[in-house]
Structure 1
Amino acid sequence: MQPIHELYPLLTTAPKKVVVTMHQKPDADAMGSTLGLYHFLIQLGHDVQVISPTNWARWVDWMPGVANVLDYELHRSQADELIAAAEWIFCLDFNHFGRTKAMAGALKEAKAVKVLIDHHEQPDEASFNYGISTPGKSSTCEMVYDLIVNAGFRDKINKSVAECLYAGVVADTGSFRFSSTGASVHHMVGYLKEQGLEHARVHEQLFDNYLENRLRFLGHVLTNRMEVLYELNTALVYITRNDLYKYDIKTGDTEGIVNYPLSIQGIKLVGFIVDRDEVRKWSFRSKGNFDCNSFARKYFNGGGHFNAAGGSDHDSLERSVQAFKKALLENKDLLQ
């Protein structure tokens, strides 16, 4: 994989057919980074199509350009044709094709130049022609901002680019409270504000845009589905399939719930599991020096960042919870 700066001179060559994509079930950083890059590239004259591997949360539907995003699962034939015809494919907020679910095969087979922009650990560099992988960065949106600025196109950061990139940054930094929020993040936001960014509007769309059932679901979860293991400084939150049906939970409605137990005094690790139809999905969050990335990779076929990671388990909800508790005992010394 060649360094990303070697791509910069190519950005102003003859217009290219471009596909921009992200991981399945995209969050604000994934959708924000892809759309931010989309709004930048079309200003350079490129023919750009954003493709999501799956559907996405309702609370990103406000983003400029989201109406033109293609859902791979709903439009597979059309998406496959676009991927096969693409000259450039930008892969954002994931570093292994497996994170794109059913779209992975089409990406692997594509003859296009493939570009990685991501902040997760252990990228599959061999699958990309150009790229950058910086786990210390706050978000992929910050990395797209860096690309635009470092390539000499700061003047192309219009209102649409600014709104999309700010959304991913504010979401992935926990509204600027996570340790990944470096000085560069605040410099970026300062510049976006100078360009007319209405940050309060973006924050409202992201965090004050749920339906009533989601708030009632949250109350149910914190009251009935949270187990606090004080002897291990850990909290466990589990969502049953019946919970999802009862409260009509859609994609994105469980986003952020994993962070709530971290506010409990003494809690260093939170394990959050959702019982989906085909697989049990885990999210892990930690404070201090507990490595969620290594934990997720070792026990739950996952990975991510040091203090935030995810995983999956094809076993039942009950057995997966038991496996989590067993793993906690094996890591007891790290949780003290």
Structure 2
Amino acid sequence: MQSIANIYPQLTVPKKVVVTMHQKPDADAMGSSLGLYHFLKQFNHEVTVISPTNWASFLSWMPGADKVLDFDRPHLKAKALEAIVGADWVFCLDFNTLSRTKNMEQALSDTQALRILIDHHQQPQVDMFSFGESNTEKSSTCEMIYDFIIASGHADKLNNEAAQCIYAGVMTDTGSFRFPITSAAVHRLIADLKNRGLNHSKIHEDLFDNFSENRLKFIGNVLLNRLVVFYEYNTALITIPQADLIKYDIKTGDTEGLVNYPLSIEGIKLATIIIDRGEERKLSFRSKGDFDVNEFARKYFSGGGHKNAAGGQSEKPLDEVAKDFEEAIKQNRDQLSTYNF
């Protein structure tokens, strides 16, 4: 994989470009993709943004979200495949391996286009990309898109539409700027966006002040009935049966951020949520300080991610996955019981 700087001279030459992201995209995946979209369009590239799956409704406010193709929808799949086959460049954002694109994996693997990676996850599948940048020290892929735009020498094309999308991804992936990954560079980035006219409070409102009544009741039920705290391991666990998802009519994205709630309990070092999605159990991990949930997820739950934020999955029943988790934290007792920050 060659340095992404090698494509800078070609940015001004119009091309057919596809921008894609991981399945079930979050604000960073969608924000980085649309931020890049708004940048590239100004060079008269023919740009198509494709998501492997649907996305949370609270991301639909982003400028350009209405133009994103959902690969999972039959009437859009043919158009998406046509764009991939005809592309000169395919930007792969916020994922480290093609398998994170679900049903799009084969099409992305077969394309004759140059695949370009921009991502901040560990252990990227570098042999699948012609050009790219992978940097685990970055807070978000949106931060990397900002860096890409500035380093390309075209900072004048960082318009308000791109700025809104970039801000959303940086804010959410840093936990509203409270996670340790929030660097001085991140704050300088935000200051630059503000100087360009960004309305940050409106974006926060669009992302977080849009709960349905059912979602609020669902969160209340989770905290009251589905939360268990293992004080001896400085750990909290939330388990959500599929019946709860059905009862409260939970949509894509409605469980976003739930795993962070237990971290507000004094002394909690590791917070985990296990959600029964029917066909499989999905896990999310968040940690404080020196406990590496990327390694934890890889070792026990076929997952991975970042040091303080990771995911995993299991095909076992929910109660068995919960038991596996309890056994895993027992095996990590020494690390978890030592409260270092």
In structure 1, the partner of 2:35 is 36
Instruction: Return 5+ residue gaps in structure 1 as ranges.
Output: none
In structure 1, the partner of 2:2 is 2
Kindly indicate whether residue 222 of structure 2 is the aligned counterpart of residue 233 of structure 1.
no
- Pairs within 5 Å for 1:231-310: 231-310=232-311
Of all paired residues, the percent bearing the same amino acid is: 59
Q: Distance in 1 between matches of 2:186 and 2:269?
A: 25
TM-score after normalising by structure 1: 0.99
Q: Distance in 2 between matches of 1:277 and 1:205?
A: 30
* 1:136 to partner: Cα distance: 1.0
One-letter code aligned to 1:143: M
In structure 2, the partner of 1:70 is 69
* 1:266 to partner: Cα distance: 1.0
Q: Distance in 1 between matches of 2:205 and 2:163?
A: 16
Q: Distance in 1 between matches of 2:289 and 2:176?
A: 18
Deviation above 6 Å: which 4+ runs of structure 1? none
Q: Distance in 2 between matches of 1:79 and 1:44?
A: 21
* 1:64 to partner: Cα distance: 0.2
In structure 1, the partner of 2:165 is 164
TM-score after normalising by structure 2: 0.97
In structure 2, the partner of 1:59 is 58
Q: Distance in 1 between matches of 2:18 and 2:290?
A: 38
- Pairs within 5 Å for 1:116-135: 116-135=117-136
One-letter code aligned to 2:78: S
* 1:77 to partner: Cα distance: 2.0
In structure 2, the partner of 1:45 is 44
**Root mean square deviation of aligned Cα:** 0.7
- Pairs within 5 Å for 1:16-27: 16-27=15-26
In structure 2, the partner of 1:213 is 214
Instruction: Return 5+ residue gaps in structure 2 as ranges.
Output: none
One-letter code aligned to 1:115: I
* 1:195 to partner: Cα distance: 0.9
The alignment covers a number of residue pairs equal to 335
SS of alignment partner, residue 162 of structure 1? helix
Q: Distance in 1 between matches of 2:122 and 2:228?
A: 30
SS of alignment partner, residue 180 of structure 1? coil
* 1:39 to partner: Cα distance: 0.3
In structure 2, the partner of 1:80 is 81
SS of alignment partner, residue 325 of structure 2? helix
Q: Distance in 2 between matches of 1:158 and 1:133?
A: 25
Deviations 1:212-261 (A, max 9, x none): 11111100000000000111111000111000000000000000010010
Q: Distance in 2 between matches of 1:4 and 1:198?
A: 30
Q: Distance in 1 between matches of 2:223 and 2:283?
A: 17
* 1:4 to partner: Cα distance: 1.1
Q: Distance in 1 between matches of 2:81 and 2:45?
A: 19
One-letter code aligned to 1:63: M
In structure 1, the partner of 2:96 is 95
Q: Distance in 2 between matches of 1:4 and 1:82?
A: 22
